[in-house]
Amino acid sequence: MATTYAATISLGDTDAAGVLFFARLFDFVQRAFEAHIGARGLPIARCLSEGVFAPVVHAEADYRTPLRLGDAITIESSVESIGDSSVRMAYIVRKSDGALAAEALVVHVCIGSDGRSVPVAEALREALARA
């Protein structure tokens, strides 16, 4: 099931051309991820305090229409798949008029304190499986 996160493009999000700086999309996507798991009972602070670490190992995006200062956006996040040690999250970014602005895919891999991959923590797996 998808979760929607709302945001507005601010001055610090734009580049010299006045459009969303390409890397800032991933800041918004991270916030959407945190909102997604938080809405399912697993706030990011709890993840960290319980040693559930899931850094990004792959990220890709397609930019469909420019986002400019003041644009209100919604980011729909959904779980694409959950593997043994990884989670693939899909994101759809829309402007307030419904126009598709961007699509992103982010892969997280769960790691232990030694930095090696570990199975997806049960708390994270359960939260992502909740509707």
Catalytic one of 13, 15, 27, 62: 15
Closest CA to 61 of 28, 36, 85: 28
Active site residue 15: yes
Give every CB contact of residue 63 below 8 A, 6+ residues apart in sequence: 20, 22, 25, 101, 102
d(CA 21, CA 16): 9
**Catalytic site positions:** 15
